[in-house]
Structure 1
Amino acid sequence: MLDRSKIGHEFNSFTTEVEKGRLKFFAKAIGETNPVYTDEAAARAAGYRTIPAPPTFPFSLDLESPEFLPIVRVLQLDLGRVLHGSQEFEYFGMIYAGDHITVSSRIADIYDKKGGALEFVVQENRYTNQHDELVSTATNTLIYRNA
Protein backbone atom coordinates (compact mmCIF):
# COMPACT_ATOMS: atom_id res chain seq x y z
CA MET A 1 0.00 0.00 0.00
CA LEU A 2 1.15 3.49 -0.78
CA ASP A 3 2.12 5.76 2.08
CA ARG A 4 -1.02 7.81 2.84
CA SER A 5 1.05 10.15 5.01
CA LYS A 6 2.31 11.65 1.74
CA ILE A 7 -1.12 13.23 1.10
CA GLY A 8 -0.48 16.96 1.14
CA HIS A 9 3.18 16.57 0.16
CA GLU A 10 4.28 19.61 -1.85
CA PHE A 11 6.91 19.20 -4.52
CA ASN A 12 9.56 21.83 -5.22
CA SER A 13 8.16 24.52 -7.49
CA PHE A 14 10.08 25.42 -10.63
CA THR A 15 9.83 28.04 -13.36
CA THR A 16 10.19 27.45 -17.08
CA GLU A 17 9.99 29.69 -20.14
CA VAL A 18 7.34 29.00 -22.77
CA GLU A 19 9.20 29.10 -26.06
CA LYS A 20 7.47 29.92 -29.35
CA GLY A 21 9.02 26.94 -31.14
CA ARG A 22 7.83 24.61 -28.42
CA LEU A 23 4.26 25.88 -28.77
CA LYS A 24 4.39 25.32 -32.53
CA PHE A 25 5.76 21.80 -32.03
CA PHE A 26 3.07 20.99 -29.45
CA ALA A 27 0.32 22.25 -31.77
CA LYS A 28 1.65 20.07 -34.57
CA ALA A 29 1.97 17.05 -32.26
CA ILE A 30 -1.69 17.25 -31.20
CA GLY A 31 -2.91 17.86 -34.76
CA GLU A 32 -3.98 21.46 -34.10
CA THR A 33 -4.40 23.24 -37.45
CA ASN A 34 -5.62 26.66 -36.28
CA PRO A 35 -2.85 29.07 -37.38
CA VAL A 36 -3.13 31.16 -34.18
CA TYR A 37 -1.10 28.39 -32.50
CA THR A 38 1.71 28.45 -35.09
CA ASP A 39 1.78 31.86 -36.78
CA GLU A 40 2.37 35.05 -34.82
CA ALA A 41 0.64 37.26 -37.42
CA ALA A 42 -2.47 35.05 -37.31
CA ALA A 43 -2.41 35.12 -33.51
CA ARG A 44 -2.20 38.92 -33.43
CA ALA A 45 -4.94 39.23 -36.08
CA ALA A 46 -7.15 37.08 -33.82
CA GLY A 47 -6.55 39.44 -30.88
CA TYR A 48 -3.79 37.59 -29.02
CA ARG A 49 -0.61 39.43 -27.98
CA THR A 50 1.50 36.61 -29.44
CA ILE A 51 1.17 32.86 -30.01
CA PRO A 52 -1.02 31.33 -27.27
CA ALA A 53 -0.57 27.87 -25.81
CA PRO A 54 -3.04 25.27 -27.07
CA PRO A 55 -5.34 23.58 -24.55
CA THR A 56 -3.63 20.83 -22.50
CA PHE A 57 -0.20 22.46 -23.03
CA PRO A 58 0.33 22.94 -19.26
CA PHE A 59 0.88 19.17 -18.95
CA SER A 60 4.05 19.47 -21.01
CA LEU A 61 5.34 22.07 -18.54
CA ASP A 62 5.25 19.41 -15.81
CA LEU A 63 7.96 17.56 -17.73
CA GLU A 64 10.33 20.52 -17.28
CA SER A 65 10.81 19.69 -13.61
CA PRO A 66 14.49 19.39 -12.65
CA GLU A 67 13.58 15.90 -11.45
CA PHE A 68 11.68 13.67 -13.87
CA LEU A 69 8.41 12.55 -12.26
CA PRO A 70 9.34 13.29 -8.62
CA ILE A 71 6.15 11.53 -7.49
CA VAL A 72 7.83 8.23 -8.41
CA ARG A 73 10.61 8.88 -5.88
CA VAL A 74 8.38 10.30 -3.14
CA LEU A 75 5.95 7.36 -3.23
CA GLN A 76 8.62 4.79 -4.18
CA LEU A 77 6.60 3.67 -7.20
CA ASP A 78 7.61 0.93 -9.60
CA LEU A 79 7.17 2.83 -12.87
CA GLY A 80 6.15 -0.38 -14.66
CA ARG A 81 2.98 -0.54 -12.52
CA VAL A 82 1.89 3.08 -13.07
CA LEU A 83 -0.94 4.00 -15.44
CA HIS A 84 -2.15 7.48 -16.35
CA GLY A 85 -5.77 7.52 -15.24
CA SER A 86 -7.06 10.99 -16.02
CA GLN A 87 -6.13 14.63 -16.50
CA GLU A 88 -8.40 17.63 -16.00
CA PHE A 89 -7.60 21.29 -16.65
CA GLU A 90 -9.17 24.52 -15.52
CA TYR A 91 -8.16 27.78 -17.23
CA PHE A 92 -8.14 31.23 -15.66
CA GLY A 93 -6.00 33.07 -18.21
CA MET A 94 -3.84 32.54 -21.25
CA ILE A 95 -0.34 31.16 -21.50
CA TYR A 96 1.69 32.84 -24.25
CA ALA A 97 5.04 32.41 -25.94
CA GLY A 98 7.61 34.22 -23.82
CA ASP A 99 5.80 33.68 -20.52
CA HIS A 100 7.67 32.33 -17.53
CA ILE A 101 5.40 29.81 -15.82
CA THR A 102 5.93 28.57 -12.28
CA VAL A 103 4.62 25.06 -11.70
CA SER A 104 3.60 24.11 -8.16
CA SER A 105 2.31 20.67 -7.37
CA ARG A 106 1.14 18.56 -4.47
CA ILE A 107 -0.32 15.14 -3.71
CA ALA A 108 -4.00 15.84 -3.04
CA ASP A 109 -5.24 12.33 -2.30
CA ILE A 110 -4.38 8.63 -2.30
CA TYR A 111 -7.13 6.02 -2.20
CA ASP A 112 -7.66 2.43 -3.29
CA LYS A 113 -10.27 0.28 -5.01
CA LYS A 114 -10.77 -3.44 -5.55
CA GLY A 115 -9.53 -4.31 -2.09
CA GLY A 116 -6.24 -2.47 -2.60
CA ALA A 117 -5.42 -4.05 -5.96
CA LEU A 118 -5.57 -0.57 -7.49
CA GLU A 119 -4.43 2.60 -5.79
CA PHE A 120 -5.14 6.07 -7.10
CA VAL A 121 -2.86 9.05 -6.60
CA VAL A 122 -4.37 12.47 -7.23
CA GLN A 123 -1.88 15.23 -7.96
CA GLU A 124 -2.89 18.89 -8.24
CA ASN A 125 -0.79 21.37 -10.22
CA ARG A 126 -0.95 25.16 -10.36
CA TYR A 127 0.50 27.23 -13.21
CA THR A 128 1.31 30.86 -12.42
CA ASN A 129 2.79 33.37 -14.87
CA GLN A 130 5.51 35.96 -14.34
CA HIS A 131 2.88 38.48 -13.15
CA ASP A 132 1.92 36.09 -10.33
CA GLU A 133 -1.41 35.38 -12.07
CA LEU A 134 -2.85 31.88 -11.79
CA VAL A 135 -3.44 30.90 -15.42
CA SER A 136 -4.36 27.22 -15.05
CA THR A 137 -4.73 24.29 -12.71
CA ALA A 138 -4.61 20.60 -13.49
CA THR A 139 -5.65 17.48 -11.63
CA ASN A 140 -3.82 14.33 -12.66
CA THR A 141 -4.81 10.89 -11.42
CA LEU A 142 -2.31 8.03 -11.57
CA ILE A 143 -3.35 4.42 -11.11
CA TYR A 144 -0.95 2.07 -9.34
CA ARG A 145 -1.43 -1.67 -9.84
CA ASN A 146 -0.51 -3.67 -6.74
CA ALA A 147 -1.01 -7.17 -8.14
Structure 2
Amino acid sequence: MADKSLIGSKMLAGTVDVEKGRLRFFAKAIGEADPIYTDESAARDAGHPALPVPPTFLFCLNSEVGELRKTLEVLQMDLGRILHAEQAFDYHRMAYAGDVLHFETRVADVYDKKGGALHFVVQETSVTNQKGDRVAELRSTLVERRG
Protein backbone atom coordinates (compact mmCIF):
# COMPACT_ATOMS: atom_id res chain seq x y z
CA MET A 1 0.00 0.00 0.00
CA ALA A 2 1.37 3.41 -0.99
CA ASP A 3 2.41 5.48 2.04
CA LYS A 4 0.84 8.86 1.18
CA SER A 5 2.41 10.40 4.31
CA LEU A 6 5.67 10.62 2.33
CA ILE A 7 4.20 13.24 -0.02
CA GLY A 8 5.90 16.57 0.64
CA SER A 9 8.83 15.00 2.48
CA LYS A 10 12.24 16.51 1.76
CA MET A 11 14.48 13.72 0.53
CA LEU A 12 17.67 15.52 -0.46
CA ALA A 13 19.15 18.97 -0.25
CA GLY A 14 22.63 20.13 -1.06
CA THR A 15 24.95 22.23 -3.14
CA VAL A 16 27.24 21.29 -6.03
CA ASP A 17 29.98 23.32 -7.73
CA VAL A 18 29.76 23.12 -11.53
CA GLU A 19 33.27 22.29 -12.79
CA LYS A 20 34.18 22.85 -16.46
CA GLY A 21 36.24 19.67 -16.82
CA ARG A 22 33.25 17.56 -15.85
CA LEU A 23 31.05 19.50 -18.30
CA ARG A 24 33.48 18.75 -21.12
CA PHE A 25 33.65 15.08 -20.16
CA PHE A 26 29.85 14.77 -20.03
CA ALA A 27 29.40 16.55 -23.38
CA LYS A 28 31.86 14.18 -25.03
CA ALA A 29 30.30 11.14 -23.33
CA ILE A 30 26.84 11.95 -24.73
CA GLY A 31 28.23 12.77 -28.18
CA GLU A 32 27.45 16.49 -28.00
CA ALA A 33 29.14 18.01 -31.06
CA ASP A 34 28.37 21.69 -30.40
CA PRO A 35 31.68 23.29 -29.34
CA ILE A 36 29.94 25.66 -26.89
CA TYR A 37 29.90 22.74 -24.44
CA THR A 38 33.63 21.99 -24.67
CA ASP A 39 35.42 25.14 -25.90
CA GLU A 40 35.32 28.27 -23.74
CA SER A 41 36.03 30.57 -26.71
CA ALA A 42 33.18 29.06 -28.71
CA ALA A 43 30.89 29.46 -25.70
CA ARG A 44 31.84 33.14 -25.28
CA ASP A 45 31.50 33.75 -29.05
CA ALA A 46 27.97 32.35 -28.80
CA GLY A 47 27.14 34.83 -26.02
CA HIS A 48 27.67 32.60 -22.97
CA PRO A 49 29.76 33.82 -20.01
CA ALA A 50 31.28 30.32 -19.59
CA LEU A 51 30.70 26.72 -20.69
CA PRO A 52 26.95 26.05 -20.43
CA VAL A 53 25.65 23.02 -18.56
CA PRO A 54 24.30 20.43 -21.03
CA PRO A 55 20.57 19.98 -20.29
CA THR A 56 20.51 16.49 -18.76
CA PHE A 57 23.68 17.07 -16.71
CA LEU A 58 21.53 18.54 -13.92
CA PHE A 59 20.23 15.02 -13.25
CA CYS A 60 23.83 13.82 -12.74
CA LEU A 61 24.61 16.69 -10.38
CA ASN A 62 21.42 16.03 -8.41
CA SER A 63 22.51 12.44 -7.84
CA GLU A 64 25.60 13.73 -6.01
CA VAL A 65 23.61 15.64 -3.42
CA GLY A 66 22.37 12.67 -1.44
CA GLU A 67 22.88 8.99 -0.86
CA LEU A 68 20.69 6.70 -2.91
CA ARG A 69 20.80 4.02 -0.22
CA LYS A 70 19.38 6.38 2.42
CA THR A 71 16.73 7.70 0.04
CA LEU A 72 15.57 4.19 -0.83
CA GLU A 73 15.52 3.31 2.85
CA VAL A 74 13.17 6.21 3.63
CA LEU A 75 11.02 5.36 0.59
CA GLN A 76 11.05 1.69 1.65
CA MET A 77 12.20 0.59 -1.80
CA ASP A 78 14.56 -2.24 -2.75
CA LEU A 79 17.34 -1.21 -5.17
CA GLY A 80 17.21 -4.63 -6.83
CA ARG A 81 13.54 -4.16 -7.72
CA ILE A 82 13.41 -0.57 -8.98
CA LEU A 83 13.55 1.05 -12.40
CA HIS A 84 13.90 4.67 -13.34
CA ALA A 85 10.51 5.04 -15.04
CA GLU A 86 10.39 8.68 -16.11
CA GLN A 87 12.37 11.90 -16.08
CA ALA A 88 11.38 15.45 -17.07
CA PHE A 89 13.01 18.87 -16.93
CA ASP A 90 11.58 22.40 -16.88
CA TYR A 91 14.31 24.98 -17.51
CA HIS A 92 14.16 28.64 -16.46
CA ARG A 93 17.71 29.80 -17.14
CA MET A 94 21.08 28.44 -18.19
CA ALA A 95 23.60 27.16 -15.68
CA TYR A 96 27.32 27.54 -16.36
CA ALA A 97 30.73 26.31 -15.32
CA GLY A 98 31.61 28.12 -12.11
CA ASP A 99 28.02 28.22 -10.85
CA VAL A 100 27.14 26.82 -7.45
CA LEU A 101 23.81 25.01 -7.75
CA HIS A 102 21.49 24.13 -4.89
CA PHE A 103 19.25 21.08 -5.25
CA GLU A 104 16.25 20.33 -3.06
CA THR A 105 14.19 17.19 -3.69
CA ARG A 106 10.76 16.40 -2.29
CA VAL A 107 8.34 13.53 -2.76
CA ALA A 108 5.55 14.77 -5.06
CA ASP A 109 3.44 11.62 -5.25
CA VAL A 110 3.29 7.99 -4.16
CA TYR A 111 0.90 5.48 -5.71
CA ASP A 112 0.44 1.82 -6.61
CA LYS A 113 -0.83 0.08 -9.73
CA LYS A 114 -1.85 -3.48 -10.51
CA GLY A 115 -3.13 -4.12 -7.01
CA GLY A 116 0.13 -3.03 -5.37
CA ALA A 117 2.39 -5.10 -7.65
CA LEU A 118 3.90 -1.86 -8.98
CA HIS A 119 4.81 0.91 -6.53
CA PHE A 120 5.58 4.41 -7.86
CA VAL A 121 7.36 7.34 -6.22
CA VAL A 122 7.49 10.71 -7.99
CA GLN A 123 10.17 13.16 -6.83
CA GLU A 124 10.50 16.83 -7.78
CA THR A 125 13.73 18.76 -7.45
CA SER A 126 14.11 22.52 -7.42
CA VAL A 127 17.46 23.83 -8.71
CA THR A 128 18.67 27.35 -7.93
CA ASN A 129 22.00 29.06 -8.56
CA GLN A 130 24.30 30.97 -6.18
CA LYS A 131 22.17 34.10 -6.70
CA GLY A 132 18.98 32.29 -5.69
CA ASP A 133 17.67 32.36 -9.28
CA ARG A 134 15.53 29.40 -10.38
CA VAL A 135 17.47 27.30 -12.87
CA ALA A 136 15.19 24.28 -13.32
CA GLU A 137 12.73 21.83 -11.88
CA LEU A 138 13.48 18.15 -12.31
CA ARG A 139 10.87 15.41 -12.05
CA SER A 140 11.79 11.77 -11.65
CA THR A 141 9.64 8.68 -11.21
CA LEU A 142 10.87 5.41 -9.71
CA VAL A 143 8.86 2.20 -9.98
CA GLU A 144 9.38 -0.88 -7.83
CA ARG A 145 8.03 -4.37 -8.54
CA ARG A 146 6.44 -5.72 -5.39
CA GLY A 147 4.63 -8.87 -4.37
Q: Displaced runs of 4+ in structure 1, greater than 6 A?
A: none
Moved more, 55-64 or 65-74: 65-74
The equivalent residue for 2:92 is 92
Superposition deviation, residue 66 in structure 1? 4.2
Question: Gapped runs of 5+ residues in structure 2?
Answer: none
The equivalent residue for 2:34 is 34
- Provide the alpha-carbon RMSD of the alignment: 1.2
Decide whether the 8 Å contact of 2:14 with 2:102 is kept in 1.
Answer: yes
TM-score between the two structures when normalised by the length of structure 1 = 0.95
Deviation digits for residues 61-91 of structure 1 (CA, Å, limit 9, x no counterpart) = 1121242354202112110011000100000
Residue 79 of structure 2 is aligned to residue 55 of structure 1: no
Residue 134 of structure 2 is aligned to residue 134 of structure 1: yes
Residue 119 of structure 2 is aligned to residue 123 of structure 1: no
Instruction: List aligned pairs for 1:4-19, cutoff 5 A.
Output: 4-19=4-19
Indicate how the Cα distance of structure 1 residues 101 and 6 shifts in structure 2: closer, same or farther if over 3 A, else same: same
Indicate how the Cα distance of structure 1 residues 69 and 30 shifts in structure 2: closer, same or farther if over 3 A, else same: farther
CA separation in 2, counterparts of 1:117 and 1:76? 14
- 2:88 is aligned with what amino acid? E
Question: Gapped runs of 5+ residues in structure 1?
Answer: none
